[in-house]
Chain A
Amino acid sequence: MTELLQQTVSGLTTGLVYAALALAIALVFQGTGTLNFAQGEFATLAAFVSFALSTAGLSWWLIVPLLVVLAFVFGAGVERLLVRPVEGSGPLALLTVTAALLLGSNAVVALIWGTDVRSMASPFGGAVYHVGPLTFTAQAIGGGALVLLAMLLCGLIFRFTPLGLRLRAVADNPDSARLLGISTGVMLAVGWGIAAAVGAVAGLVAAPTLGLSPELMTNALLLALAAVTLGGFSSRLGAVVGGLLIGVLSNLASRYVPGIGGDLQLVVPFAVIFLVLLVRPQGLFGRASTVRA
């Protein structure tokens, strides 16, 4: 029982990373209407930047806010410069652009920092705490809290600020939003920026446990895609819940289902994507959409 509980808890802490990445993917999807295949690579890039900043001697109190700002500018810049030109060309071109971004940013990271796996010291120290029968590392607690904070902030922005209202308006109905005087272009860029910032936090938190390499978020991307599919592409909350579920599910599966260990954990998100699309394509929290000719 204790073991099951421990596995669930550690599944939740890894699930938070997938949840944040899934939230980022959902944000881009709601605004631009495409999956951003490069979301994981953006997070990897952010993790490497934070690694470079910390080796340069900056304090983590400074690095985290700086990273969020940098990621926001980067995400918004990518949208303005590279995604904007194909915005009207349909989903195929958009998806291909994000595939190109994946290839490109993966190559850039590998060219600058090499392909070896580096260990990155946890920003939260190496302490271990015991609560009853359960064990927590400082990294799990601090990382979890940081991701939660990022997601909460993102949720608050969307729910309670005028900016959030505009962002939601553009996501719901771009044409009406434009008629109301909202600059849809700026809002899409802001959406990409917020997504990149949330993803950057996910990358920062994932790096100490997974080891820093250009492949840092490759698996996480797949898990996050599964999370968004499970939660529903049209729901931000769904993406987060989906991420937590996927985290717990893949952790439990790799512990209790014989044969699914290590790398093969990825069978879980694949199975989830396959089944959800087959059974309930709108996801748990999504709305089924009707299409009019």
Chain B
Amino acid sequence: MATSISGPPTRTEGAAPTPTPTAAPALAELRPMWRRPVTWAWTALFVVALVVPFLISDYDLFKATRVLTIAIAVAGLNLLIGRAGQISAGHGALYGLGAYTAMILVKELGWAWPGAVLAAVVVSGAAGWLIGLPALRVRGLNLGLLTIAIAAIFPLLLSRFEGLTGGTIGLQLAGSPITPPAALALTPEQFQFLLLVVVLAVVLVLLRNLTTGPMGRAVEALRVNPLMARSEGVDVNRLTLTMFAISSAVAGLGGALGGLVLASTVPDSYSMFFSLTLLSACVVGGSRTWAGSLVGSAFIVYLPDVISQQIGSTTGGQWSQLVYAVALLLTLFFLPAGVAGGAGRWLARLTRRLRRRSHA
């Protein structure tokens, strides 16, 4: 089983016994970037996203911005679960850590928001690195064990350290510090949405490059078989830690922007259930596709609204929690690649059939 891990960036045909199903994506990777259908779809989506803020109301935009901030965190989770094969049941806490760090810096120390967001990314990344340390000793479920403990304890710590975090009331700003420069004639909501579109696009491109280059192949080896990866010269422990730290930093970025856009953070928003909701967004959307992060976060942001409209808001939260659980189970049973992954596969099959028909 000698699959090249740190070789040149083009895919080498190793002695892998099952090359047939992977042959098509390998070809697609060799094709120049502008000839790939996926890239075209993303570009089109990006352009649409740049036009959207001028078509819909500020309230709808505000919701959509929330989808984007959560999508950043889910993309981080995708890197961890779908690529590195590690689980986190505590990304909600890391998202919250980013939000609180940014809010504290802006509110108490008067930082400008870009600096606060950067600091939040660093803090969350460092926290993720720390969390990853004990999980290295034995592989397997320990990261799950540790992260769910963190998810449970984080809101309690927030309520406890009142001096810093405002206790159970949390931190509020009079308005979001993310405001458009005067030269641009945009409403704050339009500016925030556009900012988030750009940030998410940058994050997705960075993550994709990270997982397709030489490091990506090391990560792939780590997920498939850590022992094999180690024997191929991959520093498994360092790579796991790096992946967890990057994933946490990305979650913190989403949280920092989410917190500042909302101009409010309360401990209840970052409970264990939020962490598990992020997990279900990742799996339902499809942990191995980047589009999955958008699908998943749209699912968890819009579903509670839809449900509250249907059956009133008193039990809306519980009904949506139940729907997350059911969706998560159904996805695991019937659509292991997630909604985006399944749709992608279906589209690929469709185009292949169409192409074959046009040849015949």
Which residues of A line the B interface, CB within 8 A?
34-35, 37, 82, 85-86, 89, 91-93, 95-97, 99-104, 106-108, 110-111, 115, 218-219, 221-222, 225-226, 229, 263-264, 266-267, 269-270, 273-275, 277-278, 281-282, 291, 293
Bound together, the chains give a CA A86 to CA B145 distance in angstroms of 20
Q: Which of B62-70, B113-121, B178-186, B315-323 contacts A (4 or more CB under 8 A)?
A: B315-323
Task: Find out whether the CB atom of A96 lies under 8 angstroms from the CB atom of B225.
Answer: no
Answer yes or no: B144 CB below 8 A from chain A CBs.
yes
Q: Which of B96-104, B152-160, B247-255 contacts A (4 or more CB under 8 A)?
A: B152-160
Interface size on B, residues (CB 8 A): 48
Task: Find out whether the CB atom of A37 lies under 8 angstroms from the CB atom of B89.
Answer: yes
Bound together, the chains give a CA A226 to CA B142 distance in angstroms of 11
User: Which residues of B are found within 8 Å of A226, using beta-carbon distances?
Assistant: 149
- Given A34-B141, A270-B149, 15 more pairs with CB closer than 8 A: A85-B332, A89-B336, A92-B85, A92-B87, A96-B87, A96-B332, A107-B318, A221-B152, A222-B152, A222-B153, A225-B149, A277-B135, A277-B145, A278-B133, A281-B142
Answer yes or no: B55 CB below 8 A from chain A CBs.
no
Task: Find out whether the CB atom of B134 lies under 8 angstroms from the CB atom of A278.
Answer: yes
Answer yes or no: B51 CB below 8 A from chain A CBs.
no
Task: Find out whether the CB atom of B137 lies under 8 angstroms from the CB atom of A270.
Answer: no
Task: Find out whether the CB atom of A111 lies under 8 angstroms from the CB atom of B276.
Answer: no
Answer yes or no: B326 CB below 8 A from chain A CBs.
yes
Which 3 A-B pairs rank lowest in CB-CB distance, beginning with the nearest? A104-B325, A277-B134, A107-B322
Q: Closest Cβ of chain A: how far from B88's Cβ, in Å?
A: 11
User: Which residues of B are found within 8 Å of A269, using beta-carbon distances?
Assistant: 149
User: Which residues of B are found within 8 Å of A97, using beta-carbon distances?
Assistant: 328-329, 332
B137, B149, B276: which contacts A281 (Cβ < 8 A)?
A: B137
Residue of B nearest to A275 (CB): B134
Task: Find out whether the CB atom of B146 lies under 8 angstroms from the CB atom of A264.
Answer: no
Bound together, the chains give a CA A263 to CA B277 distance in angstroms of 23
Task: Find out whether the CB atom of A225 lies under 8 angstroms from the CB atom of B318.
Answer: no
Answer yes or no: B257 CB below 8 A from chain A CBs.
no
Do A277 and B280 contact each other (CB < 8 Å), given the known contacts A100-B328, A106-B273, A270-B149?
no
Residue of A nearest to B131 (CB): A274
User: Which residues of A are found within 8 Å of B245, using beta-carbon distances?
Assistant: none
The B interface is mostly helix, strand or loop, or mixed, namely helix
Task: Find out whether the CB atom of B228 lies under 8 angstroms from the CB atom of A293.
Answer: yes
Task: Find out whether the CB atom of B156 lies under 8 angstroms from the CB atom of A264.
Answer: yes
Task: Find out whether the CB atom of B160 lies under 8 angstroms from the CB atom of A103.
Answer: no
User: Which residues of B are found within 8 Å of A293, using beta-carbon distances?
Assistant: 225, 227-228, 231
Bound together, the chains give a CA A263 to CA B267 distance in angstroms of 14
Answer yes or no: B272 CB below 8 A from chain A CBs.
yes
Residue of B nearest to A293 (CB): B227
B138, B159, B321: which contacts A103 (Cβ < 8 A)?
A: B321
0/1 per residue, B155-168, Cβ < 8 Å to A?
01101100000000
A91, A100, A107, A264: which contacts B160 (Cβ < 8 A)?
A: A264
User: Which residues of A are found within 8 Å of B148, using beta-carbon distances?
Assistant: 37, 222, 225
Do A273 and B149 contact each other (CB < 8 Å), given the known contacts A37-B89, A82-B329, A89-B336?
yes
Q: Closest Cβ of chain A: how far from B288's Cβ, in Å?
A: 12
Task: Find out whether the CB atom of A95 lies under 8 angstroms from the CB atom of B280.
Answer: no
Q: Closest Cβ of chain B: how far from A86's Cβ, in Å?
A: 5
Task: Find out whether the CB atom of B149 lies under 8 angstroms from the CB atom of A222.
Answer: yes
